[in-house]
Amino acid sequence: MSEVKRYTLPEVPHLVHGRTNGSLTPLTLFWTAAGLELNVRGSELWVEFTADWDIHEPWYSFMVNGEFFSRRMAQKGTERVCVFRGMDPEKVKNVRIFKDTQAMNADPESVLQINAVETDGEFLPVPERNLKIEFIGDSITSGEGDIGAKAETDWISMFFSAENNYAVMVSRALNADIRVSSQSGWGVCCGWNNDPNSAIPPIYGQLCGLLSGEKNIALGAKEPYDFTKWQPNYVFINLGTNDCGAFSQPAWTNETTGETFQNRRTEDGKLNPEDEARFVHGATAFLKQLRGYYPNARLVWIYGMLGLELASALQKAIDDYKAETGDTNAEFLSLTDDLKNRGCRDHPGVGAHRTAANELVAYIKKQNA
């Protein structure tokens, strides 16, 4: 029996998924579905993690040869975790490690890192994938509620899953490399509670700008991200659900300045035209921002997994963007609100994510036909 040897990541061939700060010693996993991919010929594989948190613990999953089979809550400190052992030492296993949980902006101590890997065999090259897809979104794209009993209402890390996430399903179906930038409760112009500080566009240009705390700042979370490192073929933007929800919430007030922000409804319950127009302008501006980062990607605004009230506004944003820029490589795509497959916290469950993934796979195949 061969000896199990420890390797740092620079010592082995690998593929990193998700935005990184450039360091492999350790590799910090910031966003949903961020992770590491390896090809291993050996009978066993171990991974060394370091994690910390105050409120929201990270979770992660393992996938071997295209199938998920293990999910764990990270332990504080450093731990050595067995991915598999006793397998055929001559067969090559493709292994992917996924961060299940999103970047936890409410917990400045929450972090998950990979320090090293161990095997009794050898690591082989991992070829890059030709198809690259960026997913931008909110709790839906973070996979909130796609695991757990439907009756659950607790907002906890355990109810986030990469395995049941439509973005990961698309990746598996098309053998695509994906990156996910998403955050529960956030939107285009404001969060679900009308807080304008919970908007994705202002922080999108940073590595993981929604994080706070000295630890995350030291890891480079607030640093400008170099978009030239990874250029996707498609960018799917699944935002607007929280902006829409904010139309039914009271105004947000800045406790220091007294400044307020609110998406309002008219007396007959319709969207206030001025606030709807502000949302359209914000979505149009975000499309322009994304085009600056991704000159050749097809920009597709997807929406509808939790209702379609802002669908016409998003279509107008696409139309305005095309008219103002002359760029036709963008469109709006309505997704199915699969009510019968709701998960916990009244979010899309695994069946609803599968429905959305099937629609996106069909869309991409049609585009590439």
- Here the CATH number for the domain that contains residue 235 is 3.40.50.1110
Are 169 and 353 within 8 A, CB to CB?
yes
Q: Do 275 and 330 lie in a common domain?
A: yes
Task: Give pLDDT, residue 1.
Answer: 64
| End-to-end CA separation in angstroms for the chain | 49
Q: Check whether residue 188 and residue 233 sit in a common domain.
A: yes
Torsion angles phi and psi, residue 190, rounded to 5: -165, 170
pLDDT of residue 169: 98
120 and 136 together in one domain: no
**Cα–Cα distance for residue pair 208/99, rounded to 1 Å:** 15
Q: Residues 173, 322: one domain?
A: yes
Residue at which a domain ends, from 86, 104, 124: 124
Domain check: are 310 and 186 in the same one? yes
Q: Are residues 73 and 165 in the same domain?
A: no
Q: Which domain holds residue 24?
A: 5-124
Q: In the prediction, which pLDDT does 339 show?
A: 87
| 297 shares a domain with 170 | yes
Sequence-distant (6+) residues with CB within 8 A of 194 are 246, 249, 250, 251, 252, 261, 262, 263
Distance separating alpha carbons of residues 183 and 141, to the nearest angstrom: 8
Predicted TM-score (pTM) of the model is: 0.97
Which CATH number goes with the domain that contains 19?
Answer: 2.60.120.260
Task: Kindly state whether residues 225 and 76 are assigned to the same domain.
Answer: no
pLDDT along the chain (369 residues), means of 10: 92 97 98 98 98 97 95 98 97 98 96 98 97 98 93 93 96 98 98 98 98 96 97 98 98 97 97 98 98 98 98 98 98 95 94 97 95
Where among 100, 124, 148 does a domain terminate? 124
Distance CA 322, CA 166 (A): 28
Q: Are residues 91 and 139 in the same domain?
A: no
Strand 298-303 to strand 234-238: parallel, antiparallel, or no bridges (unpaired)?
A: parallel
Considering only CA atoms, which of 130, 161, 194, 167 is closest in space to residue 300? 167
Residues 23 and 160 in one domain: no
For residue 25, CA distances in Å to 48, 113, 256, 333 come to: 11, 9, 41, 40
Please count the structural domains in the chain. 2
Does residue 36 contact residue 14 with C-beta atoms inside 8 Å?
A: yes
